[in-house]
Chain A
Amino acid sequence: MAAQQSQGIQTLLEAEKEAAKVVQQARQYRVQRLKDARTEAAREIEAYRKVKEQEFSAFQSSHAGSTQDAQSIIDKETEDKLDQITAAYKAHQDDVLGKLLDRVVLVEPELHRNLRKQQ
Chain B
Amino acid sequence: MASRPLNDEEVLSEMNKMVAFIKQEALEKAREVKVKADEEFAIDKAKLVKQEQQAIDAQFEKKRKGAETAQKIHQSTLTNKSRLRLLHRREEHLQSLFASARAQISRLANDEARYVEFLERVIVQGLLYILEPSATVCVRAKDKTIVARTLDAAVKTYNDISGRQVALELDASLSDELAGGVKLVSGSRRITLNNTLDERLRLLEDRMLPEIRYDLFGPNGNRKFYT
Expressed in whole angstroms, the minimum distance between the Cβ of B32 and any Cβ of chain A is 8
Expressed in whole angstroms, the minimum distance between the Cβ of A108 and any Cβ of chain B is 8
Of A19, A25, A85, the contact of B25 (CB 8 Å cutoff): A19
Query: Which of chain A's residues 21-67 have a Cβ closer than 8 Å to chain B?
Result: 22-23, 25-27, 29-30, 33-34, 36-38, 40-42, 44-45, 48-49, 52-53, 55-56, 59-60, 63, 66-67
User: CB-CB < 8 A to A93: which residues of B?
Assistant: 93, 97, 216
* Contact B108–A104 (Cβ < 8 Å): yes
* Contact A20–B89 (Cβ < 8 Å): no
* Contact A41–B38 (Cβ < 8 Å): no
Query: Which of chain B's residues 17-62 have a Cβ closer than 8 Å to chain A?
Result: 18-19, 22-23, 25-27, 29-31, 33-34, 36-38, 40-42, 44-45, 48-49, 52-53, 56-57, 60
Q: When chains A and B are docked, how far (Å) is the Cα of A66 from the Cα of B72? A: 12
* Contact A26–B29 (Cβ < 8 Å): yes
Expressed in whole angstroms, the minimum distance between the Cβ of A74 and any Cβ of chain B is 5
User: Closest residue of chain A to B119, judged by CB?
Assistant: A107
User: Closest residue of chain A to B12, judged by CB?
Assistant: A8
A82-B216 contact given A26-B34, A100-B208, A111-B162, CB 8 Å threshold: no
Q: How large is the interface on B (under 10, 10 to 19, 20 to 34, 35 or more residues)?
A: 35 or more
User: CB-CB < 8 A to A97: which residues of B?
Assistant: 97, 100-101, 104
Expressed in whole angstroms, the minimum distance between the Cβ of B85 and any Cβ of chain A is 6
Expressed in whole angstroms, the minimum distance between the Cβ of A23 and any Cβ of chain B is 5
* Contact A52–B60 (Cβ < 8 Å): yes
CB of B167 within 8 A of chain A? Answer: no
A45-B53 contact given A52-B60, A118-B164, CB 8 Å threshold: yes
CB of B90 within 8 A of chain A? Answer: yes
A11-B215 contact given A22-B27, A101-B104, A107-B121, CB 8 Å threshold: no
User: CB-CB < 8 A to A30: which residues of B?
Assistant: 33-34, 36-37, 40
For the A-B complex, the count of residue pairs with Cβ-Cβ distances under 8 Å equals: 198
Query: Which of chain A's residues 59-89 have a Cβ closer than 8 Å to chain B?
Result: 59-60, 63, 66-67, 70-71, 74-75, 77-78, 81-82, 85-86, 88-89
User: CB-CB < 8 A to B118: which residues of A?
Assistant: 105, 107
Q: When chains A and B are docked, how far (Å) is the Cα of A16 from the Cα of B64? A: 63
Expressed in whole angstroms, the minimum distance between the Cβ of B5 and any Cβ of chain A is 10
User: Closest residue of chain B to A39, judged by CB?
Assistant: B45
**Which secondary structure characterizes the binding site on chain B?**
helix
A15-B41 contact given A26-B30, A82-B86, CB 8 Å threshold: no
* Contact B163–A119 (Cβ < 8 Å): yes
* Contact A109–B128 (Cβ < 8 Å): yes
Expressed in whole angstroms, the minimum distance between the Cβ of B81 and any Cβ of chain A is 8
* Contact A38–B48 (Cβ < 8 Å): yes
User: Closest residue of chain A to B20, judged by CB?
Assistant: A15
- What 6 A-B pairs have minimum CB-CB distances, sorted nearest first? A19-B26, A118-B163, A30-B37, A26-B30, A41-B48, A107-B121
For the complex with contacts A23-B30, A107-B122, 15 further pairs of A-B residues with Cβ separation under 8 Å are A25-B30, A26-B34, A33-B40, A37-B41, A41-B52, A48-B53, A56-B64, A70-B74, A74-B79, A82-B86, A93-B216, A100-B101, A100-B201, A109-B124, A111-B161
